Chain A
Amino acid sequence: MEVLLLPPHSKAVLMGNEAIARGAIEAGIGVATGYPGTPSSEVIMSLSRVAKELGMYVEWAVNEKVALEIALGAAFAGIRSLATMKAPGANVASDSFVSAAYSGVNGGMVILIADDPGPHTTQTEQDSRWYADLAKLPMLEPSDPQEAKDLVVKGYDLSESLKLPVILRTTTRVNHTVGDVVYGEMRRIERKPIFIKDVERYVRASMVGNLMRHKWLNNQLAKAEEEASKLGINRVEGDGNIGIITSGVSYSYVIESLKRIGKEHKVRIIKIEMSYPLPKSFLLKHLKDLEKALVVEELDPYLELKVRTLAHEEKLGVEIWGKKESGIPIEGELNPFIVMRVIAKFLDIGIVELKLEEPRTAITPRPPPMCAGCPHRFSYYALLKAIKKAGFKLEEVPIMGDIGCYALSYEPPLEAIWTEHAMGASIGLALGLKVSGLDKPVVATIGDSTFFHAGIPPLLEAVHKNLDVIIVILDNEVVAMTGHQSTPEWSVTESGRRTTPIDILSLVKGLGVRYVKVINPYNINEAIEVFTEALLMKNAGPRVIISKAPCALMVIRQGKILGPRRTIDYNKCRNCLLCIIETGCPALTTEEVFGKKRPVIVKELCVGCGHCAYVCPFNAIIEEVKKSD
């Protein structure tokens, strides 16, 4: 039985993202789309399991902006829709959702923006709550999986009553927390899509119209608090003349901390679930007789600034404790330890300070390596060899990186990429280095999905301006980093939809690139040769090399391996360990024999890529012979 389709009142343990998916099902959505990005990906992944059965359109889009527009178009037509993205994806989609506030929607629309305080897997710790203010879109913030589900359902109702898309802003500790969730009714919304021409509303060309829509928008926002309160959004717990204002996962830490220091129910907790627009009457009602109030929130002092402004405007006597007074950090994520200390200080309660004494043994770092057999390892290995072969020094040829597993090439032993900036930025930044006058070759390296997402416009720019860069498209035929999602190269998607696969080679040629080569990275000599050729060309415009081989992990999960597993012939091995030094392959380790370290191939981990055999100067690494009995 599919857990997402259990009947109402069932109780299940769901990950926050699965709970969001269930909420979308309960709300009767018809369209869900997004672009993979940790910690948001599991929402679409979960929905695609039930898409066919529920007759829902659930597909990954080429990027977040396109995803947002698809969801918005559906909501124009009256169909409830969902768009999902991680925080940097919201930056990509922002052009469209800022305008969406002026047109509004007919069917309910929720935009999931998953922030990553910590950060755990994101290039910045951007606090996307500011997007609600910028775009003027209502924003809801759940604190656990149950609330995530409930607020999605309420979010659709709020969206339809205000005719505005609603942002659901989460953080990793909500998206990736598993918790018990009680199910609600599944609403079946049978609507025929209708789109009625309304130029003033949907065409942003008329400046008079835009001014009018801005006034309409502000008018809608003015109703938001009342509509939210009808839906039971925002609440107060406990009592007393001292208060804590909080939202999102921080709320859980507040409750726990109060319990731990024996002040449960003795403090008034003002839990903000709609943090934009600020629920002013609600806050005023619960703030006005307080002596002092502490704001507990992660990252920026977002609520704090608003609460301070409100208290000032209304001349409230309440003393506000924000980041400065409490010492709550503005970087990194909060945890129960930090929050308990802050609350104890705020309530002036002495607690026994926990002494965390570090172990005397140094804890070896464990940076995540590229997987055994990863084709990216081969691509970068060959590229580095080619740079030397072409007569350049490694430190004079910048290799620009991009977003994906291959960014792990910054680590030893490859230490390949010089930058990892934003989706598709490897190419644009490489162009910038060239136009600045840098006379050495510049190489941009970009994955297939990242290329589709944001690499096409900068390549077009390179072709058009005839800029002299080398672009390596690392095509592993999947969005690997976020858990193997489909790319436009696939002919069938996760929900079973037959699609037209996009061929990168034809696409690049169609953009007008004259030098295009496709290489198999596992063929190291050929790869070195092609890279060297491209590096030695001068004023030849952009050269594109497509390094094509499926993600090794995907191959292994299909029950296959890349080639015959390797083993070491210790008669030939001279213990130089170059196999480990050059590849950093996690299937290699060492053992001590007669006081000497010698390399060992871990049988269960070797996938037969042969990289270690290639680098061995003594031909000591050989194909494993299967014993006949």
Chain B
Amino acid sequence: MINEFNLVIASVGGQGGLTLSRIIAEAALSNGYSVRTGETLGMSQRFGSVLSFVRFGEDVRGPLIPFAKADVLIGLELLEALRAWKFIGPKTLVLVAKISIPPVFSSLSHIPKWSSYKYPSIDDILMNLRKRAEKAIDIDALPILRKLNNVRGLNVFMLGIFAASPRNPIPKSLYEDAIRKVIKRNIELNIKTFRIGYDIGQRLEFT
């Protein structure tokens, strides 16, 4: 048993970041841990920044993770992973999907009025994440999810990757139970997506 595990999920509204935090919370509870999740979201239902925290362990209290103390950061989008930089410390493992969803006005950033909306280069984002974290791994998830015809399954795919990492303290089967409990549609496809993420994760170098 571990005392306190801190996980941050950074995503764009509509990507399933909050659902992912609920799945992990359910799995952690089944494993006998105490759980807290917290979230910071913008006003709109879609397309805003969403930051969720999942904490579990023997004794967890508040919903917020102290700065630099994330054990793992799961990024469902590159810019959002970078936006969560305050929570990344020298012991953090970053798992980020190589997906960029530029804010609407990023496409106009060549016009001076919109220049502050310029979307950073992917290399810049990854360099920043690598500099900060113990290890940052980017995963080219889209081609795999497209092949599975489950682009919306990015959240469970990334969960699979995390589940395969040596940092993960919860048995894989409990995540599958939790997916069945939390996700209402396309359960089998999402389980399959999770397992493919897990298989890919097993081939990654996490340290």
Contact size range, B: 35 or more
Q: How near does chain A come to B95, taking the closest CB pair, in angstroms?
A: 18
A361 with B120: CB separation less than 8 A: yes
17 contacts between A and B (CB under 8 A): A173-B62, A179-B35, A180-B29, A356-B67, A358-B85, A359-B132, A360-B128, A362-B120, A363-B120, A364-B102, A364-B118, A364-B119, A366-B49, A367-B48, A368-B47, A405-B44, A589-B106
Indicate if A594 sits at the interface (CB-CB under 8 A). Answer: no
Residue numbers of A with Cβ under 8 A of B are 11-13, 120-121, 144, 173, 176-180, 249, 251-253, 255-256, 259-260, 335-337, 340, 354, 356, 358-371, 405, 408, 412, 481, 483, 553, 577, 580-581, 584-586, 588-590, 597, 599, 604
B21 with A408: CB separation less than 8 A: no
Whole-angstrom distance between the alpha carbons of A553 and B44 in the complex? 11
Which residues 40-73 in B have Cβ within 8 Å of A in the complex?
40-49, 59, 61-68
Residue numbers of B with Cβ under 8 A of A are 12-13, 21-22, 25-26, 29, 34-49, 59, 61-68, 79-80, 82-83, 85-86, 102-108, 110, 116-120, 124-125, 128, 132, 151
A120 with B26: CB separation less than 8 A: no
With A337-B67, A364-B79, A364-B103 as contacts: A173 and B38 at CB distance below 8 Å: yes
Hey, which chain B residues are within 8 Å of A362, CB to CB?
116, 118, 120
A577 with B108: CB separation less than 8 A: yes
Residue among B21, B83, B105 with max Cβ neighbours from chain A (10 Å): B105
Q: How near does chain B come to A125, taking the closest CB pair, in angstroms?
A: 15
A256 with B44: CB separation less than 8 A: no
Hey, which chain A residues are within 8 Å of B82, CB to CB?
359, 361, 363
Top-10 shortest CB links A-B = A368-B44, A252-B62, A368-B48, A590-B107, A252-B61, A177-B63, A178-B37, A368-B42, A336-B66, A359-B128
**CB closest chain-A residue, reference B22:** A178
Residue among A180, A335, A580 with max Cβ neighbours from chain B (10 Å): A180
Hey, which chain B residues are within 8 Å of A255, CB to CB?
61-62
Q: How near does chain B come to A32, taking the closest CB pair, in angstroms?
A: 24
Hey, which chain B residues are within 8 Å of A251, CB to CB?
61
Residue among A249, A256, A259, A481 with max Cβ neighbours from chain B (10 Å): A256
Hey, which chain A residues are within 8 Å of B59, CB to CB?
259
With A356-B67, A359-B85, A405-B44 as contacts: A364 and B35 at CB distance below 8 Å: no
**Option from A11, A359, A599 in Cβ contact (under 8 Å) with B29:** A11
Q: Mostly helix, strand, loop or mixed at chain B's interface?
A: mixed
Hey, which chain B residues are within 8 Å of A366, CB to CB?
12, 42, 47-49, 79-80, 83, 103
Whole-angstrom distance between the alpha carbons of A405 and B46 in the complex? 12
Whole-angstrom distance between the alpha carbons of A213 and B119 in the complex? 64
Whole-angstrom distance between the alpha carbons of A360 and B129 in the complex? 11
Hey, which chain A residues are within 8 Å of B86, CB to CB?
356
Hey, which chain B residues are within 8 Å of A365, CB to CB?
103, 116-117
A120 with B41: CB separation less than 8 A: yes
Hey, which chain B residues are within 8 Å of A11, CB to CB?
29
B104 with A354: CB separation less than 8 A: no
**Option from B13, B35, B125 in Cβ contact (under 8 Å) with A178:** B35
Q: How near does chain B come to A575, taking the closest CB pair, in angstroms?
A: 11
Hey, which chain B residues are within 8 Å of A363, CB to CB?
79, 82-83, 85, 120
B116 with A364: CB separation less than 8 A: yes
Hey, which chain B residues are within 8 Å of A412, CB to CB?
105
Hey, which chain B residues are within 8 Å of A581, CB to CB?
108
**CB closest chain-A residue, reference B27:** A13
With A255-B61, A256-B62, A580-B108 as contacts: A371 and B79 at CB distance below 8 Å: no
Hey, which chain A residues are within 8 Å of B41, CB to CB?
120
Q: How near does chain B come to A401, taking the closest CB pair, in angstroms?
A: 13
A336 with B42: CB separation less than 8 A: no
A144 with B85: CB separation less than 8 A: no
**Option from A12, A178, A589 in Cβ contact (under 8 Å) with B21:** A178
Whole-angstrom distance between the alpha carbons of A356 and B88 in the complex? 10
Hey, which chain B residues are within 8 Å of A590, CB to CB?
107-108
Hey, which chain B residues are within 8 Å of A370, CB to CB?
44
Hey, which chain B residues are within 8 Å of A359, CB to CB?
82, 85, 128, 132
Hey, which chain B residues are within 8 Å of A586, CB to CB?
46-47, 104
With A13-B25, A367-B42 as contacts: A584 and B104 at CB distance below 8 Å: yes
Hey, which chain A residues are within 8 Å of B120, CB to CB?
361-364
Q: How near does chain A come to B90, taking the closest CB pair, in angstroms?
A: 11
